[in-house]
Structure 1
Amino acid sequence: MRRSSVRRLAVPVIALGLLAPALAACSDEPADLVIYSGRNEDLVEPLLEKLEKELDANVEVRYGDSAELAAQILEEGDKTEAGLFFSQDAGALGALSKEGALTALPQPTLDKVEEAYRGGEGDWVGVSGRVRVLAYNPGKVPTPPDSVHQLTEPEWKGKIGFAPNNASFQAFVTGMRVLEGDDAAREWLKGFKANSPKTYESNTDILEAVDSGEVSAGLINHYYWYEKAAEEGEDKLTAKLHFLPGGDPGGLVNVAGVGLLKGADTKQADYAQQAADYLLGEEAQTYFAEETKEYPLAAGVAPADGLPALDSLEAPRINLGELDSLKETLAMLQEAGLV
């Protein structure tokens, strides 16, 4: 088996509204395909190593925050070294689409995924899905609320955990802005802040806090619970999950997805297209289902045991490409004193 040439470079963090410095170039042999990945290295490195073997090509992966990588791509323009952008969320892809930085995907590629989980301009496609849920401790919360709007009520003061710097939480807030308007979102953030929610660094930390009873409930992505249950056994977990009904903004279904970059040369563009199709194929979709516990979006692959069917969820109806206004969301979070 040929040794993997997948290489990892960290991307410098950027301040709000600023672009990251240029990514450092590798000194090794030239890559056939450069991927800018906003997905966490621990989650997707094994999959991208499988991708490299499937393509029989030298693949270089540069990891960073999705929003920062999108800003980097716009700064680089047609001189970008990347051929494929693998984003953690739809918002960063929507931002690139709006700026005309992505290449239209072939219809057969788009048709592998339901229309709700791909870009309206046909230039990006979701490869896996995640659902925002409420993790709760049944010893403290016998009946979980059916809306995030209830979390601003006095009974929840000091009892909710959240990760304000997490991209998925920020995407949720952006989704609320799209669904209900900026004024309503601003009012919710104000009420949420007034209830003294407890801040954590990550979804994992929130889930642990809920499980231990440190907080009564927390806002997370669904797959953190399913990963922990697979590792430790469901019977070892105190925390439970509640999928919010009725199209509540707290039940947002977001996607990780890919887009082909316009600046890529013909050879790299071809490999990028092959990579996109691989990620929508059975092997990659099975990886998302079994390893990351996300929702597979293509190839007829079923989600992991115990997950409700995606089409059974009462998720809010939203154009995921509209989750691109991250700067405005961050400004609103700052205004509310949550970041």
Structure 2
Amino acid sequence: MKFGNARSALAGGALAIAALFTTSALADGVVNIYTYRQPDLIKPVLDAFTAETGIKTEVLFLDKGLEERIQAEGQNSPADVIMTVDIARLTSAKEKGVTQPLVDDEINKLLPAEYRDPEGNWFGVTKRARVIYASKERVKDTAITYAELADPKWKGKICMRSGQHDYNLALFSAAIAHWGPEKTEEWMKGLKANLAKKPDGGDRPQAGAIAAGECDIAIGNTYYVGLMRNNEKDPKEKEWGNAINVLFPTFENGLTHVNISGAALAKNAPNRDNAVKLIRFLASHEAQQVYAEKNYEYPVEPGLEPSETVKAFGELKADTLPLVDIAKGRKAASEMVDRVGLDDGPSS
């Protein structure tokens, strides 16, 4: 049975559903993936894995409750590999006990230590930077710091997705680590005052809002720009991507916030050997190239350059703040977003 792109709600039927997948989960040549990542974003690398190994991939996409789903399924869970974005989600999977340690010399040689859990409970396989999308027509600035997002000069000119989204919470967590909670909260109030409208949508629609003249700058991830500019199926998105410049904002250390996508070996993986093969493949040079060229993400492989599209953005000088420090600040960042009322928009 194919998992496909099915969305799943947590319910009492989780165990029954798990039982339905048991035959597929135990079949030869299969690896079952539970993912928070949109299936179309991981399809290129999974297709490459199947082409190289002959092992089929079954994908279950969830937009929330992945860890709870695996907990509910217990020992009968079909999940072999967890794939997700954001360091906080990776560490959360470990803390909630739905991963198992994987100490593998081959993987550890391929992935730098800063992008993997010391105990082997998660592995970072790509990087992305949280940057500024700036209107080519209306913004002449060639550099904007994170702190300057609170400058009144941008009043009514900033768009963003929800402050409670993982990508923004990670950025705010990094700000707390750099500035401390008091300064970060004052900055967030300034950011809120500068919003053009209530936060909504994803990163790509923020570029669309810029193209439509609703705002001048937005906060977004680098790889979405590559996906938009090279989207031959949707001329509208291509127009959005070409309407903006990418600016690399920095903290006082002159470095830009980065986050990761990653993978983990599920606690009760029924196809453990195939799962390990997949994680090894995700760390491999071939997969890193696929991620770079097809997804426009930054490889974690040392020395491997990003795609030509991404290189054209300019040089990324990645923040050296440890990812685990960013994860630690997630709860404080989330509470701050609510306290400031960031998602209520500029008029509240």
Partner of 1:61: helix, strand, or coil? strand
1:278 is matched by which residue type in structure 2? F
User: Is it true that 1:269 corresponds to 2:272 in the alignment?
Assistant: yes
Partner of 2:59: 61
Deviation at 1:136, TM superposition (A): 0.5
Task: Decide whether the 8 Å contact of 1:133 with 1:243 is kept in 2.
Answer: yes
1:166 is matched by which residue type in structure 2? H
User: Is it true that 1:320 corresponds to 2:323 in the alignment?
Assistant: yes
CA distance in 1, matches of 2:303, 2:36: 25
Match of 1:7 among 4, 13, 32: 4
Matches of residues 90-169 of structure 1 in structure 2 within 5 Å?
Answer: 90-99=87-96, 101-164=99-162, 165-169=164-168
Partner of 2:346: none
Partner of 2:189: helix, strand, or coil? helix
CA distance in 2, matches of 1:82, 1:308: 36
Deviation at 1:58, TM superposition (A): 4.5
1:259 is matched by which residue type in structure 2? A
Query: What percentage of aligned pairs have identical amino acids?
Result: 26
| 1:64-121 CA-partner distances (Å, limit 9, x unpaired) | 23x6323434555555431211112221111233455331331320221222222243
CA distance in 2, matches of 1:122, 1:264: 15
CA spacing shift, 1:27–1:235, aligned 2, 3 Å: closer
Match of 1:291 among 273, 290, 294: 294
Task: Decide whether the 8 Å contact of 1:88 with 1:256 is kept in 2.
Answer: yes
User: Is it true that 1:226 corresponds to 2:220 in the alignment?
Assistant: no
CA distance in 2, matches of 1:104, 1:236: 39
Partner of 2:24: 30
Partner of 2:144: helix, strand, or coil? coil
Unaligned runs of 5+ in 2: 344-348
Could you state the TM-score of these two structures normalised by the residue count of structure 2? 0.81
Deviation at 1:324, TM superposition (A): 3.4
CA distance in 1, matches of 2:61, 2:240: 35
Deviation at 1:40, TM superposition (A): 0.7
Deviation at 1:153, TM superposition (A): 1.8
Deviation at 1:125, TM superposition (A): 1.4
CA distance in 2, matches of 1:324, 1:74: 21
CA distance in 1, matches of 2:279, 2:289: 15
CA distance in 1, matches of 2:252, 2:72: 37
Unaligned runs of 5+ in 1: 14-18
CA distance in 1, matches of 2:111, 2:160: 31
Partner of 1:40: 38
Deviation at 1:236, TM superposition (A): 8.1
Could you state the TM-score of these two structures normalised by the residue count of structure 1? 0.83
RMSD (CA atoms): 3.3
Deviation at 1:205, TM superposition (A): 0.4
| 1:155-195 CA-partner distances (Å, limit 9, x unpaired) | 11110010015321222122223333333332222222223
Structure 1 range deviating more: 253-262 or 52-61: 52-61
1:7 is matched by which residue type in structure 2? G
Task: Decide whether the 8 Å contact of 1:135 with 1:240 is kept in 2.
Answer: yes
2:14 is matched by which residue type in structure 1? A
